[in-house]
Amino acid sequence: MTLTSIAARNIGRNKLRTGLTVAVVAIATLFFIMLRTVVWSWSSAEEFAKKDRIATRHKISFVMQLPKRYAEEIAQMPGVSAVSYNTWFGGKDPKDEKDFFATIATDPPGLLKVYSEIKAPEDQKQAWLADRRGALIGDALAKRKHWKVGDKITLAGSIYPGNWDFNVSGIYTTTTTNVDRSTVWFHWDYMNESLPERRKDMVGWIVTNINDASASGSISKAVDAKFDDRDLQTVTMSEAALSHSFLGMFATILKAINVVSIVMIAIMGLIVGNTIAMGVRERTNEYGVLRAIGFLPKHIAQFVLGEAVVIGVVGGGVGLVLGYPFVNYGVGRFIEENMGQYFPQFRVQPELAAFAFGLAVLLALVAAILPARQAANLQVVDSLRRVG
Amino acid sequence: MSENNGGGKSDIIVLSKVGKSFWRGKERLDVLKELDLTMKEGSFEALMGPSGSGKSTLLNLIAGLDVPTSGSLKVAGSELSHMTEGDRAGFRAANIGFVFQTYNLMPVLTAVENVELPLLLTKLPAAERRKRAEVALKVVGLEGRMGHYPRQLSGGQEQRVTIARAIVTDPKIIVADEPTGDLDRESANDILNLLGKLNKEFNKTIVMVTHDPAAAERATVCHRLDKGALAL
């Protein structure tokens, strides 16, 4: 029997209250892990992005388009090995319009060169290249929508109105997580030929492979310089930076997530502190007796802090045990499959798990400091006066 | 535990002109007034008096739970008047055993663990601590209830556990604040018999606050307090 073991047993005295407090710590830890994983995954997208791939968009905004000929001009520049151009189509499944997935009009031969991570059986690739209505579909999306090669699908255009029919030419997968597996890629020509004259021959962004990754900065500058005196100027950046600019609004949300995760943990601390304070209040007489028989204020503080540590350890542990599989095998898989471009690896990092656990214990400890001080500073005679 | 060897009776508690005052707002309350009192080692002394007479305050001073406002207070050879709280805690752990009216056992600990509690402050190994706690419980006749939690014991049994906790460190003095106040007559008699046994067989000096004349009769000396002074 030790002071710490007694403290641990003390928290079992009000099982409902302790259980609820542990649940709060566990839930806070779980959500902290998940939210921080969102932030980490987003921030680490650059790490997973291809270093020899740069992207060019309109200087003012992603939603403004560039002439397709810019891609042809970039392809002629020194140091460039392949070019592809893309336009965000914004198609939806008419049967389930709330189900979001990316639909991108592209230059198929260029895409397969620029995105070497995209893998599909050769016959499916050839079928896609040959069919102007062909679509190459990510395996995660195909699985979700039960689409298979040979199917005819219809997408409703939101940016380009109307019902658009496609033939599923191939199902692709990827060799890395930085290209999402829930995109419908289709022929830019198919879209372009259907557009009114004033909207024709424009592309959303241009993706360029370069021979030397270390030259990405200078080539980006050269691309922008090339179009600097044109009507439509460009901004060229790394692939990761492009993703960030594409989801600029999301970056603000991520900042909010950061704040929410901190506020949530702070609330957890207050709840633990309140629970500990209630326990101290109820046990004032016991602390008085302990002081009477010779225990020092530091021992009383040890009792109180010990209880808080046990709550933090149990709650943090439960949060980890629940959070790890929830993120890594649940929500993480879904995000990697469907938003791999922006969250290439959505997994709980061991450092984050250790940090979250340590934070739960530390905050429980910090929350108990005030009640512990109050308990330790109780006057023995006053405490005993409350007896009975 | 040291048994009574029938040796000489030295003074173990000596109060010289002890005063204790409290402040209630700006009003000063003199609870004890220049009290002179001596208690012999191995004596069994009762403190009686009406509510507010100062008997519990006197017991707190003797136990080292509080310090006098004025005068000298010597207990078991230590002058308590000017001791720090930390020193008094050490003094209490070494010299005083406490028996309270409402038992105050820790509900999460078994009887033997409750008795072992004060020994956590010593450097004794765990096995020795447990052995001593078991011996103390045998002394109070609860060897069959060692693994029971307080909620599984009667009031009288709980008070016996409290007494075992009070004697487990082999203190010189046991202070008892209304030890039979919550008990029926039969259980109260058992507890008083037990205190008498500790006094006679183990030479423990017992200072007991009580309102119960039957309890006071067990004491060898009975002091009556009234308005902070000893009544003649």
Structure letter (DSSP) for residue A331:
I
Highest mean pLDDT: which range of A27-31, A96-100, A147-151: A147-151
The candidate with the shortest Cα–Cα distance to A363, out of A267, A256, A261, A297, is: A267
**What's the mean pLDDT in B61-66?**
92
Judge whether B89 is closer than 8 Å to chain A, CB to CB: yes
Burial class (CB in 10 A: 0-12, 13-18, 19+), A75: middle
Backbone angles phi, psi at A128, to 5 degrees: -65, -45
CB contact under 8 A, A294 and B121: yes
The candidate with the shortest Cα–Cα distance to A41, out of A321, A325, A267, A334, is: A334
Instruction: Give B-chain residues touching A1 at CB under 8 angstroms.
Output: 109, 113, 116, 120, 126, 129
Distance from the B134 Cα atom to the nearest Cα atom in chain A, whole angstroms: 14
The pLDDT score that the predictor gives to residue A147 is: 95
Residue A48, classed as helix, strand or coil, is helix
Residue A308, classed as helix, strand or coil, is helix
Q: Does residue A151 register a pLDDT over 90?
A: yes
Q: What is the mean pLDDT of chain A?
A: 88
- Secondary-structure percent of chain A, ordered helix, strand, coil, rounded to 5: 55, 20, 25
Backbone angles phi, psi at A66, to 5 degrees: -120, 155
DSSP A340-385: TTT-S-----HHHHHHHHHHHHHHHHHHTHHHHHHHHT--HHHHHH
Token pair recorded at residue A79: 């140091």
Residue given tokens 């090339």 in the structure block: A226
Query: pLDDT tens across B187-232, in order?
Result: 888 889 889 998 998 889 999 999 888 888 889 999 999 888 888 6
**Distance, C-alpha B71 to centroid of its chain:** 22
Judge whether B121 is closer than 8 Å to chain A, CB to CB: yes
What residues make up the domain containing B46?
Answer: 41-68+93-230
Structural domain total, chain B: 1
Distance from the A9 Cα atom to the nearest Cα atom in chain B, whole angstroms: 6
End-to-end CA distance of chain A: 27
CB A376 within 8 A of CB A280: no
Query: pLDDT tens across A297-308, in order?
Result: 999 998 889 888
Q: Which amino acid is at B203?
A: N
The candidate with the shortest Cα–Cα distance to A55, out of A252, A203, A250, A230, is: A203
The pLDDT score that the predictor gives to residue A100 is: 84
Q: Does residue A242 register a pLDDT over 80?
A: no
Quick one: closest CA in B to A377, which residue? B85
Of B60, B85, B104, the CB nearest to A286: B104
Indicate whether B8 belongs to any domain: no
Residue B39, classed as helix, strand or coil, is strand
Distance from the A295 Cα atom to the nearest Cα atom in chain B, whole angstroms: 7
The Cα–Cα gap between B56 and B63 comes to 10
Q: Which amino acid is at B192?
A: L
CATH at residue B109? 3.40.50.300
- B6 pLDDT tier (thresholds 50, 70, 90): very low
Residue given tokens 């090669």 in the structure block: A149
Cα diameter, chain A: 94
End-to-end CA distance of chain B: 36
Query: pLDDT tens across A265-285, in order?
Result: 888 888 888 888 888 888 888
Beta strand A183-187 with A102-106 is parallel
Instruction: Give A-chain residues touching B118 at CB under 8 angstroms.
Output: 293-294
Instruction: Specify which residues B132 forms β-bridges with.
Output: none
Indicate whether B10 belongs to any domain: no
Indicate whether B142 belongs to any domain: yes
The Cα–Cα gap between B63 and B59 comes to 6
Instruction: Specify which residues A118 forms β-bridges with.
Output: A174
**What's the mean pLDDT in A147-169?**
94
Quick one: closest CA in B to A283, which residue? B106
Indicate whether B83 belongs to any domain: no
Q: Provide the Cα torsion A142, A145, A151, A153; round to 10°.
A: -120
CB contact under 8 A, A9 and B100: no
Token pair recorded at residue B122: 């010593």
Structure letter (DSSP) for residue B112:
H
Element (DSSP H or E) covering residue A138: strand A134-138
Indicate whether B1 belongs to any domain: no
Indicate whether B81 belongs to any domain: no
The Cα–Cα gap between B9 and A375 comes to 40
Judge whether B92 is closer than 8 Å to chain A, CB to CB: yes
Indicate whether B28 belongs to any domain: no
Distance from the A23 Cα atom to the nearest Cα atom in chain B, whole angstroms: 22
Indicate whether B88 belongs to any domain: no
The pLDDT score that the predictor gives to residue A61 is: 83
Of A10, A12, A289, the CB nearest to B100: A289
CB contact under 8 A, B65 and A381: yes
Backbone angles phi, psi at A134, to 5 degrees: -70, 150
